Structure 1
Amino acid sequence: MIKHIAIVSAIMVCTLAGFGLSSSARAEYSFCNKTSYALSAAIGYVDEGRMFTRGWWRLRAGQCKVVMTEAIRPGRYFVYGEAIPGHRGPLRTWSGDTALCVENESLFTLRDQDVCAGDPRRQRDFFAVDVPADNDGSYRTEFVEETNYNVYKAEVAGVQRLLQDVGYGIRNIDGALGRTTQEVLREYRQDRGMGDSGVYDDALIDQLIAEANERDAKVGFFFCNSTQLPVWAAIARPAGEGNYNSSGWWRLEGSECAKVIRGDLTSDHYYVYGMMDIGDEDVPMIAGEKPFCISDVQFEAEDGIDCEDNGFVEASFRKVSIGSEKSATFRFAPEQFNKELATTSGNAGGR
Structure 2
Amino acid sequence: MNARLLLRLAVIAGALALGGLGSARAEYSFCNKSSYALSAALGYVSDDRLVTRGWWRLRAGECKRVLTEPVKAGRYYVYAEAIPGHRGPLRSWSGTTPLCVQNDSLFTLRDQDVCAEDPRRQRDFFTVDVTEEAGGAWTTEFSDENNFTVFAAQIAGVQRLLRDVGASEGDIDGYLGNATRNALRGYRRQKGLGDSGIINDTVMDALIADANAQDAQVGFFFCNATLLPVWAAFAGPRGGGAEGYRSTGWWRLGSQECAKVRRGALASEAYYVYGVMEAEDRSVPLAGGDTEFCVAAVQFDASSDEPCDEAGYQTASFRRVDTEGEAAWTFQFTPEQFNPERVNR
TM-score (norm 1): 0.91
What is the match of residue 86 of structure 1? 85
Letter of the 1:183 partner, please give it.
N
What is the match of residue 334 of structure 2? 333
Within a 5 Å distance, the mapping from 1:80-229 to structure 2 comes to 80-229=79-228
What is the match of residue 284 of structure 2? 283
Secondary structure, aligned partner of 1:305: coil
Alpha-carbon contact 2:156-2:175 (below 8 Å) kept = yes
Alpha-carbon contact 1:170-1:184 (below 8 Å) kept = no
Q: Deviations over 1:282-334 (max 9, x none)?
A: 21111111111111111122225322232111211111111110000000011
Letter of the 1:245 partner, please give it.
R
Give the deviation of 1:339 after TM superposition.
Answer: 7.3
Question: Aligned in 2, Cα 1:325/1:20: closer, same or farther, shift over 3 Å?
Answer: closer
What is the match of residue 307 of structure 1? 308
C-alpha separation in 2, matches of 1:44 and 1:341? 48
Letter of the 1:300 partner, please give it.
D
Question: Aligned in 2, Cα 1:45/1:280: closer, same or farther, shift over 3 Å?
Answer: farther
Secondary structure, aligned partner of 1:229: coil
Matched, 1:11 2:12: no
Gaps of 5+ in 2: 17-22
C-alpha separation in 2, matches of 1:163 and 1:186? 11
Letter of the 1:315 partner, please give it.
A
C-alpha separation in 2, matches of 1:169 and 1:306? 43
Alpha-carbon contact 1:53-1:100 (below 8 Å) kept = yes
Secondary structure, aligned partner of 2:11: strand
C-alpha separation in 2, matches of 1:193 and 1:102? 36
- Pick which of 58-67 and 196-205 moved more: 196-205
Secondary structure, aligned partner of 1:310: coil
Give the deviation of 1:12 after TM superposition.
Answer: 3.1
Secondary structure, aligned partner of 2:232: strand
Q: Deviations over 1:116-146 (max 9, x none)?
A: 0000100000000000011111111001111
What is the match of residue 3 of structure 1? none
Question: Aligned in 2, Cα 1:42/1:89: closer, same or farther, shift over 3 Å?
Answer: same
Question: Aligned in 2, Cα 1:200/1:234: closer, same or farther, shift over 3 Å?
Answer: same
Percent identity at matched positions?
58
Q: Deviations over 1:79-117 (max 9, x none)?
A: 000001111110000000000000001111000000000
What is the match of residue 269 of structure 1? 270
Q: Deviations over 1:193-235 (max 9, x none)?
A: 2222222211111100001011111110000000111111111
C-alpha separation in 1, matches of 2:234 and 2:260? 11
Alpha-carbon contact 1:12-1:96 (below 8 Å) kept = no
Alpha-carbon contact 1:78-1:126 (below 8 Å) kept = yes
Letter of the 2:166 partner, please give it.
G
Question: Aligned in 2, Cα 1:241/1:146: closer, same or farther, shift over 3 Å?
Answer: closer
- Pick which of 299-308 and 219-228 moved more: 299-308
C-alpha separation in 2, matches of 1:236 and 1:7? 11
Q: Deviations over 1:172-195 (max 9, x none)?
A: 100000011011111112222222
C-alpha separation in 2, matches of 1:124 and 1:302? 21
Letter of the 1:144 partner, please give it.
S
What is the match of residue 249 of structure 1? 250
Question: Aligned in 2, Cα 1:136/1:341: closer, same or farther, shift over 3 Å?
Answer: farther
Question: Aligned in 2, Cα 1:163/1:9: closer, same or farther, shift over 3 Å?
Answer: closer
C-alpha separation in 2, matches of 1:326 and 1:137? 49
What is the CA RMSD across the aligned residues, in angstroms?
Answer: 2.1
Alpha-carbon contact 1:293-1:301 (below 8 Å) kept = yes
Secondary structure, aligned partner of 2:188: helix
Alpha-carbon contact 2:2-2:89 (below 8 Å) kept = no
Secondary structure, aligned partner of 2:125: strand
Secondary structure, aligned partner of 1:243: strand
Secondary structure, aligned partner of 1:249: strand
What is the match of residue 232 of structure 1? 231
What is the match of residue 61 of structure 2? 62
Q: How many residues align?
A: 335
Secondary structure, aligned partner of 2:57: strand
Secondary structure, aligned partner of 1:134: helix
Secondary structure, aligned partner of 2:176: coil
Question: Aligned in 2, Cα 1:169/1:8: closer, same or farther, shift over 3 Å?
Answer: closer
C-alpha separation in 2, matches of 1:281 and 1:142? 48
Alpha-carbon contact 1:82-1:94 (below 8 Å) kept = yes
C-alpha separation in 2, matches of 1:71 and 1:192? 42
Give the deviation of 1:64 after TM superposition.
Answer: 0.3
Question: Aligned in 2, Cα 1:7/1:125: closer, same or farther, shift over 3 Å?
Answer: farther
